[in-house]
Structure 1
Amino acid sequence: MSADAGSEEVLDGLSRHARKLVAELAGPVRRVRLRSGDTVLEVEWHDPARPAPAPRAEVDPVPAPQVEAVPAADRPAVRAPVVGTFYRAPEPGAAPFVAVGDVVRPGQVVGIVEAMKLMNEVTAGQAGRVVEVLVEDGKPVEYDQPLIALEPLTGRDA
């Protein structure tokens, strides 16, 4: 199978997923972007009153650089449970859920990801000390994107 045929197959799969996703969503969709390797499918509507245009697909000639900060491989991280907008505090002007240096316990709320007007709590999956907040407040995040880097607790911290 040639590289072009493989890209076309991936693109067809992404197109099917995009159509299914848009059909299942309740309410208007402004933008959908799906990526598999170097293949990207992007659909965007500029005017909700106009009918949706056909999906526009492109194949990136060079993989896009990762813009997210990635914690060191040996450090655990709290990850985004859904695609949406990450917030560090429960409301504008409030103190953040956690700050660098704080100790978190499993199940502790460390942030919120807003997705389709729903606020999804982001909870720590394990105990640790916050060593870095990897995403700025109010920034978009992808599913499973690292949000907060943790340092495992030692015997004296626990």
Structure 2
Amino acid sequence: MDLKEIQNLIKFVAKSGANEVKLEMGDVKITIKTGAEKTETNYFQQAAPVSMPVQVQPEVQAVPAVAAEPAAPAAESSGEDTSKYIEIKSPIIGTLYRKPSPDKPVFVKVGDTIEAGDTVCIIEAMKLFNEVESEVSGKIVKVLIEDSSPVEFDQPLFLIDPS
């Protein structure tokens, strides 16, 4: 279970009004307590094979580590340049896919010229695939997120040069 999933779980518990939620998946145990005055406690236990969290955990750690390292130096070196670019941001929380299917090419890549209304990626949220369309015309300058990565609401995905 990665940090984004834990954050989403905390948000869900806060909205549900539950006072305390305990989650156990294999060797991972999470307890979330809210300041609510209710005495109701919800327990969720999911039996998961021990090998499953081991497989998921390294993959999740590897993707942010790779994505975080190039993003930090790029932000420092081109801090002034990004002010003239327009960001395409995520309209929802979900998983970003840069291709319409695994065997197809990406929607857009760095250097591509796009028009307003062109699809730049797909975000899957609760088994629904939502196309993200560009609101501006221009040239793709930078792709800020890797394929099959989780995204948050309003997270920048692409930088567009409108000129």
Same fold (TM over 0.5): yes
Please, what TM-score do these two structures have when normalized by structure 2? 0.55
**Candidates 96, 121, 143, aligned match of 2:153:** 143
- Equivalent runs, 1:43-82 vs 2, <5 Å: 45-47=23-25, 55-56=32-33, 67=68, 69=71, 72-82=82-92
CA apart distance, 1:44:
7.6
Determine the C-alpha separation between the residues in 1 that align with 2:135 and 2:114. Answer: 9
**Corresponding residue SS for 1:130:** strand
Letter aligned with residue 32 of structure 2 = P
Alpha-carbon deviations, 1:94-128, whole Å to 9, x = none? Answer: 10011111111111100001111111111101111
Alpha-carbon deviations, 1:46-100, whole Å to 9, x = none? Answer: 45xxxxx75257xxxxxxxxx5946823210111110111100001121001111
**Corresponding residue SS for 2:105:** coil
Determine the C-alpha separation between the residues in 2 that align with 1:115 and 1:73. Answer: 30
Determine the C-alpha separation between the residues in 2 that align with 1:102 and 1:44. Answer: 47
**Corresponding residue SS for 2:132:** strand
**Candidates 125, 129, 137, aligned match of 2:139:** 129
Determine the C-alpha separation between the residues in 2 that align with 1:87 and 1:116. Answer: 14
Q: Which residue of 1 aligns with 2:4?
A: none
**Candidates 95, 100, 109, aligned match of 2:110:** 100
**Corresponding residue SS for 2:83:** coil
Tell me the percent identity: 38
Please, what TM-score do these two structures have when normalized by structure 1? 0.57
Determine the C-alpha separation between the residues in 2 that align with 1:105 and 1:44. Answer: 48
Alignment length (residue pairs):
108
Determine the C-alpha separation between the residues in 1 that align with 2:123 and 2:23. Answer: 23
Aligned alpha-carbon RMSD (Å): 3.3
Distance 1:107 1:46, change over 3 A: farther
Distance 1:147 1:44, change over 3 A: farther
Structure 1, unpaired ranges of 5+: 1-14, 24-42, 48-52, 58-66, 154-158
